[in-house]
Amino acid sequence: MKPVARLGVGIGWRPEIADAVERLDGLDWVEVVAENICPGHLPASLRRLLDRGVRVVPHGVSLGLGGADRPDPERLAALGERAVTLGAPLVTEHIAFVRSSWPALEAGHLLPVPRTRDALDVLCENVRIAQDALPVPLALENIAALFSWPGEELTEARFLTELVERTGVRLLVDVANLHTNRVNRGEDPAAVLDAIPLEALAYVHVAGGVERDGVWHDTHAHPVPPVVLDVLARLRERVDPPGVLLERDDDFPPEAELAGELTRIREVISRPGAGPASAAGPGRPVRESAPDGSRAPGLADGPEVPDGPEVPVEPEVPGEPLPPVAPVSEGVRAGVGIGQAALLSALVAGTPVPEGFDERRVRVQARALAAKRASVVAKLAPELPPILGGPDAYRTAFLAYARNRPMTAGYRRDAMEFAEHLLIQDLPADPAARRRLTLWWQDRAGARPPHRIVRWARALVGRAA
C-alpha cells in the first residue's frame, strides 16, 4: 500500500479560535468541518493558512454513509467541491448514520450502525458510491457510542477490517472514541488496534471528554485526559501515524492551553518504537485514483498537494484488485432502515425504546441530542436567547419544544420552527419580547410556502405589532 501524505500535527479549525490557530507554533495542518464553509467565501483565516502552505482537510459530518439510503449526490458533490477548493489531499467522514427517510427524521449527531452483515453490506456499497463521486481519497472515522445494538454479528475490529478489504477506504482512527467505547461498550482499545489494518491509516483524532455516572461523554469540550493519550501511545507503538489532530469544539481554552495540548501530543508521537505497520506494504488495496482513472491528489508524490512534509514514495507494489460488490437488495436496505428509524424515533421523537437496547443509555443519548440541538440553534440564531430572557430561559423553552418535535431538516430550519412554535402559543409572555421574536421570524421567513403553521404564525404578526 502506498503511503499517504504526511500531515504532521494539527488542530481542528473553528471560527472561535481562528486567530489562535494562526499563531500556533509548528502547526502543520488543520481540519475544517466541511458543512461549515462555503467554497466561494472561505474565511480569511483559512485563506491565510492556505497561503502559508498549511494543508486544510475537509471533515464531513452529514453524509450518513452508514444509513440505509444511498448517499445523496448533492451532499457528495458539495464535499468534493470543498476538497477541490482547499486543495485537500483527502476528505474524511464517519462510519455512522444521521437520519432516516421514513419517517423523515434528523439526528443532528453521529449514531452507531449495527455491526451486522446486512449493515456492513449497505455501508460498503454506500462507500463505493462515495468513492466514485469524490475527486480525492476518502477516509472514514470510527465513532464514539453510548450504547450497543442488540444482535451484533461482528466485533468493531472485524467490521472495520472487512470495510477496508471490500472498499479500499482509508481509516481515520479516533483514539478518544476508542476510549469512549471502552467505558460505554466494554471494548478493549488495544484489541481493536491489534486487529484493524493500520496500513490503511490516514490520520488520528485526539479529543477530550468527561465521565458522568459511569458513562463517558465524548464532549470535545474538555482537555485531553491522560487515558486518551495512553491510547494514542498504544497506537504509536504499532504504527507511525501520518497525521494527528487535536479536536476542540466548545468551551475553548486560552491559546496557551491549546498549545500545551499540542505539545503533549507531539511528545507522545515522537517516542521511538513504531512497529512494522509503520512501513507501507502491499497490505489491502486502497483507492488512490479519481473516478476517471487519473491519479487523485493527496499522495506523497501528488503534484496538486501544497508544499509540506512528505514521505518517500515506495516502489509500486501491485495489490489485489478490490472484490466486486454485488448490489444490495432493496429488502436488505429496508430492513436496515426499519431498525435505524425505530432507534432514531426513540431518540428524537419520544417513542418507546426498541427491544434489546439499553433503555437507560438510549435515554441518556436522547437528552444529549436535545442539548446539542439547543446549543447549535443558539449559535446559528444568537438573537434567540436574549429575546427569550437569557441562556437559561432559552434552554428551558427549547428543550420543552424539542421533547416531542424531532428535527426533520437542518438546524436553521429547526430555529425557525422553534420560533413558530413559540408564537403559536403566544410566547414569550412579555409583549415586547414577543414582538421582537415576531420580527425576527418575519425577517427570515422569506417567500416560504405558507403551510398551516406558517399561516398561523403570520396571523400573529398583527397581534404582536
Residue 290 has pLDDT above 60, yes or no: no
Residue 360, H or E segment: helix 359-380
Q: Strand pairing of 91-94 and 97-101?
A: unpaired
C-alpha cell at 302: 501528488
For residue 51, the tally of other CB atoms under 10 A from its CB is 9
Confidence of residue 322 (pLDDT cuts 50, 70, 90): confident
Distance CA 107, CA 63 (A): 12
At 1 the pLDDT is 53
Which of 416, 422, 372, 414 is closest to 397 using CA atoms?
Answer: 422
Which of 341, 400, 340, 365 is closest to 109 using CA atoms?
Answer: 365
Q: For 198-221, what is the mean pLDDT?
A: 94
At 324 the pLDDT is 73
Which of 45, 95, 29, 94 is closest to 245 using CA atoms?
Answer: 29
Give percent of the chain with pLDDT exceeding 70: 84
Amino acid making up residue 76: L
Residue 85 has pLDDT above 70, yes or no: yes
Q: Where are the beta strands (DSSP E) in 397-440?
A: none
Distance CA 237, CA 274 (A): 5
Q: Over the stretch 436-457, which tens digit does the pLDDT of each residue have? A: 999 999 998 874 444 445 545 4
Distance CA 2, CA 128 (A): 20
Q: For 103-131, what is the mean pLDDT?
A: 96
Amino acid making up residue 417: E
Min mean pLDDT across 216-225, 283-292, 323-332, 421-430 is at 283-292
Distance CA 355, CA 346 (A): 11
What mean pLDDT value characterizes the chain? 87
Residue 284 has pLDDT above 90, yes or no: no
Residue 145 has pLDDT above 70, yes or no: yes
At 363 the pLDDT is 94
DSSP symbol at 140: E
Amino acid making up residue 226: P
Q: Over the stretch 183-198, which tens digit does the pLDDT of each residue have? A: 999 999 999 999 999 9
* 301-325 as b/e: b if 16+ CB within 10 A: ebeebbebeebeeeeeeebeebeee
At 294 the pLDDT is 39
At 272 the pLDDT is 67
Residue 298 has pLDDT above 90, yes or no: no
* 427-458 as b/e: b if 16+ CB within 10 A: bbeeeebbbbbbebbbeebeeeeeeeebeebb
Distance CA 457, CA 435 (A): 12
Confidence of residue 404 (pLDDT cuts 50, 70, 90): confident
CB 88 within 8 A of CB 56: yes
At 310 the pLDDT is 39
User: Is it true that the peptide bond before 242 is cis, omega within 30 degrees of 0?
Assistant: no
Residue 205, H or E segment: strand 201-206
DSSP symbol at 93: E
Residue 99 has pLDDT above 90, yes or no: yes
Residue 338, H or E segment: helix 330-348
Q: Over the stretch 240-280, which tens digit does the pLDDT of each residue have? A: 999 999 999 989 999 999 999 999 999 999 986 555 444 33
DSSP symbol at 35: G
At 315 the pLDDT is 37
Q: For 4-29, what is the mean pLDDT?
A: 95
Residue 303 has pLDDT above 60, yes or no: no
At 199 the pLDDT is 96
